[in-house]
């Protein structure tokens, strides 16, 4: 028996576990090295030894010194429990081993598992250069009353402030094999919370103890750990500790990096403001680095054309999530320049914003009608023409021209967003004025939801919108790409019902006001304005993503060129590159392969989406009534009951996404709303019981 450090030169040896530390991983393997390191640091690790090479003749002496069986015999490969490839579950494990003969047989079988087809495939896919040397770890088996695994960071979000625990009664093998459904615990700030109870395997105090020992292991190794543990006879044992692989970057919800002119700082950040309504998921790297910047630039161009101000779309991307603020992105110098160079435009803009809810007719005449007229006569026709010309050019365009097409169409889409912000914002503020009139003069006589006055307004029958999208992030296919035109027949039937309800509500309001001759003119003005801008909002929302089909084709064309250059494996991987990486690899100006950074970003983006998410296929939409609106269910998103409760309680901003779930529950749906057959995507709705 070898009591010396494990870096001895013997070909075949037995090394006691308490003589091993992390520096010996190259000889005794990652599992034994980690456990030996923890044992020497004072952690409660079962006694054992490591067999290097073929079992030596004096194995019987070592077994007697250990105290006999039962034993747990496990692999400890050189390539096992690495930071980027754990090999977890790839090798054989043998439990309840008794006696010398069974021990020798188990060691031999464990060593032979290193050359299995399963291990060879994993090694080729995950760690091509990983050596195949394998040591065997033999330990006294813990007669576990309960066992499980603890992650010292949330494996879905990367949140290092959480410890996730899975626990079962008896041996942990029941958990690994899938025989048992584990209890699930989450510990935050020292407070255990049981998310699922199947076996009542451990108490809250025991969960806290597991979290403490797991965090201590993570602190010792200075990185998040995946810790296997067991309780036996009132003692807590550490059975394995390995680094967590493919873990998302740490989550930080401090003041975000802000686009535009101002440095980072506190503000009123909203997820569902302006473009945020169209971004229900974390955005992909290419969208953030390219299209989002173009949209902001075009938004600023539209703002300057109508008001004289030089300001873009003020936003921040935090851990992949888009946030925006209603506060303008202004510098004093730019404001003064607008006042002096275009004083009339600035006066109309500022005074109309202030007056819109109190005197919407004046605001509409003074400023908003001009913006709408410019959109209808200039901005929209130019956008349509640009999209049509770009689609025609794309088939034969050189890659440099493809890049230019993205730049032009992306900026034009930003101008459309500015027009929608004006149209949609006006619609909302005029609706506020109409609602105030209803509460003052009609609520005691007419019992309606005032929103019914703004339904069934579309001038024509609903038609398929092939450029409609589930998300403004160009990673997601358009409705046209899904080869599904939407439930047009159902919409036609529903439209008739909405028109009848609206006309009946209008008639009831007019009858209630007929004895007060001073009020009907005011009602008619507000009603006409509100209905006109409601139609405008839906028309502009329908047309915002007109350029998305050609934008996606451009990215995929660049992606195809990057595949040919060997930079990425699939065209779709282009969405996980930066603009410089994609353009460089497509045009040949970047020679190095980009699979590693692309895969890292893809893993991080996917990890930001809650576990259990089903990507919408748009194959079988269904109608669902939503008060006066229509809902088109395009896909399903499943969140834990905790997050569902958070959403119902009105949790906003970062907290909603910081507490992403690990354990899904199938009762939260992503709904794409179609108020008046316009497409407003990205609404999360919790169905009521």
Ranges of H-type helices in 573-622:
579-587, 595-607
Lowest mean pLDDT among 89-98, 108-117, 149-158, 328-337: 328-337
**pLDDT recorded at residue 215:** 97
Show the CA angle centred on residue 359, arms to residues 354 and 361, nearest 5°: 115
Mean pLDDT of 78-90: 50
pLDDT 10s digits, 401-448: 999 999 999 999 999 998 888 877 777 778 888 888 989 899 888 888
- Over residues 537-556, the pLDDT tens digits come to 888 888 899 999 999 999 99
Burial class (CB in 10 A: 0-12, 13-18, 19+), 343: exposed
Token pair of 331 as six digits: 């510098």
The Cα angle at residue 475 between residues 276 and 538, in degrees rounded to 5: 45
* CA dist., res. 74 & res. 17, Å (int): 13
Same fold, 1-141 and 142-251: no
> What are the backbone angles phi and psi of residue 488, rounded to the nearest 5°?
-60, -40
Question: What is the CB neighbour count within 10 angstroms for residue 448?
Answer: 17
> Whole-number mean pLDDT of the chain?
75
Residues 6+ apart with CB under 8 A from 39: 17, 18, 20, 45
Torsion of CA 155, 157, 161, 167, to 10 degrees: -30
CB 168 within 8 Å of CB 147? yes
Facing residues of 270 across strands? Answer: 324
pLDDT at res. 253 = 61
pLDDT confidence band for 355 (50 / 70 / 90): low
Percent of the chain at pLDDT above 70? 69
The SS3 assignment for 605 reads helix
Side-chain-facing half-sphere of 325: CA atoms under 13 Å: 22
Could you tell me the pLDDT band of residue 596, with boundaries at 50, 70 and 90?
very low
- What pLDDT was estimated at residue 322? 85
How high is the pLDDT of residue 629? Answer: 29
What is residue 158's predicted lDDT score, i.e. its pLDDT?
80
CB 543 within 8 A of CB 375: no
**Is 301:243 a contact under the CB 8 Å cutoff?**
no
pLDDT of residue 574: 92
More confident residue, 252 or 396: 396
The string of pLDDT tens digits covering residues 459-484 is 555 555 788 888 899 998 888 886 55
Q: Which two tokens stand for residue 58?
A: 């004096």
pLDDT of residue 616: 28
**DSSP 3-state assignment of 67?**
coil
Half-sphere exposure in the Cβ direction for 157 (13 Å, CA): 25
Structure confidence by residue, pLDDT tens digits, 493-539: 677 788 888 889 989 999 999 889 899 998 998 888 888 888 888 88
- Alpha-carbon dihedral angle through residues 534, 537, 539, 543, given to the nearest 10 degrees: -170
Regarding the domain delimited by 1-141, which CATH topology (the fold level of the hierarchy) does it fall under? Answer: Dna Ligase; domain 1 (3.30.1490)
Task: Please give the pLDDT value at position 47.
Answer: 95
pLDDT at 318: 77
pLDDT at residue 188, as a whole number: 92
512: alpha, beta or left? (left if phi > 0; alpha if psi -120 to 50): alpha
- Asked whether the beta carbons of 526 and 433 are under 8 A apart, the reply is yes
What is d(CA 551, CA 559) in angstroms, rounded to the nearest whole number? 12
CA–CA separation, 311 vs 302, rounded Å?
A: 9
Q: Would you say residue 453 has pLDDT above 70? A: yes
On the question of a cis peptide bond just before residue 70, with omega within 30 degrees of 0, the verdict is: yes
Cα 407 to chain centroid distance, Å, stands at 26
Question: Given pLDDT bands bounded at 50, 70 and 90, which one contains residue 150?
Answer: very high
Q: What SS3 class is residue 167?
A: strand
Confidence class for position 329, pLDDT limits 50, 70, 90: low
The pLDDT of 266-291, averaged and rounded, is 84
pLDDT digits (tens, 9 = 90+) for 20-73: 999 998 889 989 999 999 999 999 999 999 999 888 888 999 999 998 779 999
Q: Do β-strands 162-169 and 183-188 pair in parallel, antiparallel, or remain unpaired?
A: antiparallel
Strands 680-685 and 315-318: what pairing?
unpaired
The pLDDT value recorded for residue 493 is: 64
3-state secondary structure of 105: helix
Strands 13-16 and 48-52: antiparallel
Kindly tell me the burial class for residue 88, based on how many C-beta atoms sit within 10 Å of its own C-beta (0-12, 13-18, 19 or more): middle
In angstroms, the CA 473 to CA 281 distance is 9
Q: Tell me, what DSSP letter sits at residue 378?
A: I
How do the domains of the chain map onto residue ranges? 1-141, 142-251, 550-607, 623-685
User: Residue 644 pLDDT more than 70?
Assistant: no
pLDDT 10s digits, 92-139: 789 989 999 999 999 988 888 776 655 555 455 544 454 567 899 999
| Residue 620 in this model has a pLDDT that exceeds 80 | no
- pLDDT: which is higher, 154 or 156: 154
What DSSP assignment string belongs to 490-546?
HHHHHHHHHHHHHHHHHHHHHHHHTT-TTSHHHHHHHHHHHHHHHHHHHHHHHHHGG
Contact predicate 111/105, CB 8 Å = no
- In the chain, the percentage of residues whose pLDDT exceeds 90 is 34
* One-character DSSP codes across 299-355: HHHHHHHHH-------EEEETTEEEE-SS----HHHHHHHHHHSHHHHHHHHHHHHH
Phi-psi bin for 520: left (phi > 0), alpha (psi -120 to 50), beta?
Answer: alpha
Structural domain 142-251, CATH architecture: 2-Layer Sandwich (3.30)
Helix (H, G, I), strand (E, B) or coil at 402: helix
């Amino acid at each position: 028996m070898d009591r010396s450090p494990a870096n001895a030169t013997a070909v075949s040896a037995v090394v006691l576990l308490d003589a091993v530390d992390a520096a010996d991983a190259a000889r005794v393997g990652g599992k034994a090295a980690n456990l030996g390191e923890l044992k020497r640091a004072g952690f409660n690790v079962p006694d054992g030894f490591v067999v290097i090479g073929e079992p030596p003749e004096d194995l019987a002496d070592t077994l007697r010194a250990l105290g006999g069986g039962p034993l747990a015999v496990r692999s400890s490969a050189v390539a096992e429990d690495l930071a980027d490839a754990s090999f977890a579950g790839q090798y054989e494990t043998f439990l309840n081993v008794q006696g010398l003969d069974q021990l020798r047989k188990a060691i031999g079988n464990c060593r032979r598992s290193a050359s299995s087809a399963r291990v060879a495939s994993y090694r080729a896919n995950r760690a091509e250069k990983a050596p195949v040397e394998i040591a065997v770890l033999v330990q006294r088996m813990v007669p576990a009353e309960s066992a499980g695994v603890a992650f010292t960071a949330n494996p879905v979000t990367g949140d290092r402030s959480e410890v996730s625990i899975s626990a079962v009664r008896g041996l942990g093998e029941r958990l690994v094999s899938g025989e048992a459904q584990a209890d699930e615990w989450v510990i935050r700030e020292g407070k255990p919370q049981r998310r699922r109870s199947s076996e009542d395997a451990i108490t809250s105090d025991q969960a806290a103890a597991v979290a403490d020992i797991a965090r201590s292991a993570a602190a010792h190794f200075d990185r998040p750990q995946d810790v296997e543990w067991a309780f036996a006879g009132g003692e807590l044992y550490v059975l394995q500790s390995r680094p967590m692989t493919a873990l998302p970057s740490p989550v930080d919800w401090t003041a975000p990096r802000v686009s535009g002119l101002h440095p980072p700082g506190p503000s009123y950040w909203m997820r569902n403001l302006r473009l945020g309504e169209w971004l229900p998921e974390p955005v992909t790297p290419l969208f953030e680095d390219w299209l989002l910047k173009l949209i902001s630039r075009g938004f600023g161009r539209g703002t300057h054309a109508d008001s004289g101000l030089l300001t873009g779309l003020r936003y921040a991307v935090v851990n992949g999530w888009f946030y925006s603020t209603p506060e303008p992105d202004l510098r004093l110098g730019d404001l003064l320049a607008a006042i002096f160079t275009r004083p009339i435009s600035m006066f109309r803009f500022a005074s109309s914003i202030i007056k819109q809810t109190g005197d919407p007719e004046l605001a509409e005449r003074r400023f908003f009608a001009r913006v709408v007229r410019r959109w209808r006569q200039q901005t929209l026709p130019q956008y349509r023409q640009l999209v049509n010309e770009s689609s025609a050019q794309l088939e034969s365009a050189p890659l440099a021209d493809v890049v230019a097409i993205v730049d032009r169409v992306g900026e034009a889409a930003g101008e459309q967003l500015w027009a929608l912000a004006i149209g949609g914002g006006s619609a909302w503020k005029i609706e506020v004025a109409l609602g105030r009139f209803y509460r003052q003069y009609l609520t005691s006589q007419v019992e309606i939801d005032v929103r019914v006055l703004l339904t069934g307004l579309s001038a024509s029958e609903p038609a398929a919108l092939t450029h409609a999208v589930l998300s403004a992030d160009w990673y997601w296919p358009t409705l046209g790409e899904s080869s599904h035109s939407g439930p047009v027949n159902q919409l036609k039937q529903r439209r008739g019902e909405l028109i009848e309800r609206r006309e009946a509500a209008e008639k009831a309001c007019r009858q209630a006001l007929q004895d007060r001759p001073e009020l009907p003119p005011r009602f008619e003005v507000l009603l006409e304005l509100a209905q006109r801008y409601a139609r405008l909002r839906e028309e502009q929302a329908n047309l915002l993503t007109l350029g998305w089909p050609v934008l996606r084709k451009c990215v995929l064309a660049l992606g195809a060129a990057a595949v040919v250059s060997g930079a990425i494996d699939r065209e779709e991987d282009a969405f996980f590159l930066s603009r410089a990486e994609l353009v460089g690899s497509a045009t040949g100006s970047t020679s190095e392969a980009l699979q590693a950074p692309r895969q890292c970003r893809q893993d991080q983006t996917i990890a930001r989406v809650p576990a259990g998410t089903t990507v919408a296929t748009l194959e079988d939409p269904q109608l669902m009534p939503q008060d006066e609106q229509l809902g088109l269910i395009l896909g399903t998103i499943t969140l834990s009951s905790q997050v569902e409760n958070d959403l119902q309680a009105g949790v906003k901003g970062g907290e909603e996404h910081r507490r992403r779930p690990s354990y899904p529950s199938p009762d939260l749906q992503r709904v794409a709303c179609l108020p008046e057959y316009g497409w407003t995507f990205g609404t999360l709705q919790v169905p009521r019981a």
